[in-house]
Structure 1
Amino acid sequence: MLITFKSRADGDVIMFAEVARRILSILGKDPADTRGIVTVEQIPAAIAALRAAVEEDRLNTPPAEEKDPWEQEPGTPRQAAPISLAQRAAPLLAMLAHSLKAATPVTWEA
């Protein structure tokens, strides 16, 4: 399932529901809601909450080990580093910033 965030100030941001629900929870929204709104008045607090969560995630997540591919066992599939909250939240943070500047709300729907 996908959740789409929309704003008149930016292009759509589409996320897998699991990630979007985590972010909605950080924003203080009910992750079970299939649609909702972040009003212009709520955007500054939403940005602050999401930035704080990203920073906390950075501090609590150990850096991924980079292995030299030449030292890897032949035939072993290479494992990608996990995607951080910062990477997942960046498009929505940009949308929220553009929406604040344009004084337009952000909505979401499943």
Structure 2
Amino acid sequence: MYRFKSKAAADVIYLPEAARQVLEALRREPAQQGIIEVADLPAAQQALLAAVEVDEAAFAALVAEAEAQGEPPPRRQGITLRQRVWPLLDMLRLSEAERADVIWQG
């Protein structure tokens, strides 16, 4: 398990595969521990939002392709990236407002 912590918010916990996906969206190495300093919080939020946009655009392209071929559109399986990053995005916003670093430990 990976635990993201900040003095500004409750902990956010991810299983290893989900944490890897989130850390890659943050453009961070999936290390066992790390920090997002206050100065980097706005960029981290933007990175998560950009990753969600890319994920949703890729899925929309699959739906459009299926519809163009007269096939039923695919359905999302499991948790979407938007759903997965929402708690961490909230933590990043609260941490930025309170000028608190975010750390993680795996």
The TM tier, using the shorter chain, reads: 0.7 to 0.9
Instruction: Specify the alignment match of 1:28 in structure 2.
Output: 27
- 1:99 aligned onto 2:99: no
Bigger helix fraction? 2
3-state SS of 2:14 partner? strand
Shift of the alpha carbon at 1:28? Answer: 2.1
CA contact (8 A) 1:9 1:95 kept: yes
Deviations 1:4-37 (A, max 9, x none): 0000000000001111112112212111x11110
State the TM-score, normalized to the length of structure 2: 0.82
Q: Distance between the aligned counterparts of 1:107 and 1:48, measured in 2?
A: 18
Structure whose CA Rg is larger: 1
- Same amino acid, percent of matched pairs: 41
Specify the alignment match of 2:44 in structure 1: 46
TM-score between the two structures when normalised by the length of structure 1: 0.79
In structure 1, stretches of 5+ residues that fail to align are 66-79
- Runs of 4 or more, structure 1, over 2 Å off, are 62-65
Q: Which residue matches 2:66?
A: none
The runs of 5 or more residues in structure 2 that have no matched partner are 64-72
Task: Please give the residue correspondences for 1:64-79 in structure 2 after superposition, counting only pairs within 5 Å.
Answer: 65=75
Once residues 15 and 88 of structure 2 are traced to their aligned partners in structure 1, the CA distance between those partners, rounded to angstroms, is: 13
Structural RMSD (CA): 1.6
